[in-house]
Amino acid sequence: MHSVLGSPTRDYLISNKGDKVPISDLEGKYVGLCIVVNGYGPVVQFTSLLAKIYEKLKEVEEKFEIVAVSLDNDEESFNESFVGMPWLAIPQGDKMCEKLARYFELRGLPTLVLIGPDGKTLNKNVADIIDEHGPDAWEGFPFSAEKLEILAEKAKAK
């Protein structure tokens, strides 16, 4: 996971309390890279919904972590938004944020890239799935074809 999230000079992420969390803590977990610009309307709505899903996945003990990848140029804006998020982040202003946006061919915001426990990309953007299914989207995790089919059936039954 270090090759995706780290750099030669940084082997950690930050928590919303400012603690340094080793990237190695994410080994063997699913990781959602939440690429955002803080304060942008759709991002604000999405991160609020994502926080509910994240908490539900933690509640059912899924091995899942979210890492915020902020494309903000304004550190104050980042800090204001990040303090309310329950997940980790690449430090604001780190060049890795822009590199990840390019690598995953960012097409719009918000974007949530899902990486498997083996470090391979499973889906370049599950944000649309989350938007479509709302708080119930957690039931489709890790958003495999089989899980998405079950989620779609549940949505039809409502």
Whole-number pLDDT of residue 45 = 87
The pLDDT tens digits of the residues spanning 30-53 come to 999 999 887 677 788 899 999 999
Whole-number pLDDT of residue 72 = 84
Whole-number pLDDT of residue 36 = 87
Distances (CA, A) of 109 to 34, 53, 78, 103, 128: 9, 18, 16, 15, 10
Q: What residues pair up with 35 in beta bridges, in sequence order?
A: 69, 111
Residues 6+ away with beta carbon under 8 Å from 154:
136, 139
**What DSSP element (H or E) covers 121?**
strand 121-123
**Model confidence at 113: pLDDT above 90:** yes
**Model confidence at 57: pLDDT above 90:** yes
Whole-number pLDDT of residue 60 = 95
Whole-number pLDDT of residue 107 = 85
Q: What is the mean pLDDT of the chain?
A: 91
Q: Are 32 and 86 in contact (CB under 8 A)?
A: no
Q: CATH assignment of 2-157?
A: 3.40.30.10
CA end-to-end span of the chain: 39
Domain boundaries, the chain: 2-157
Sign (positive/negative) of CA torsion 88, 45, 54, 66? negative
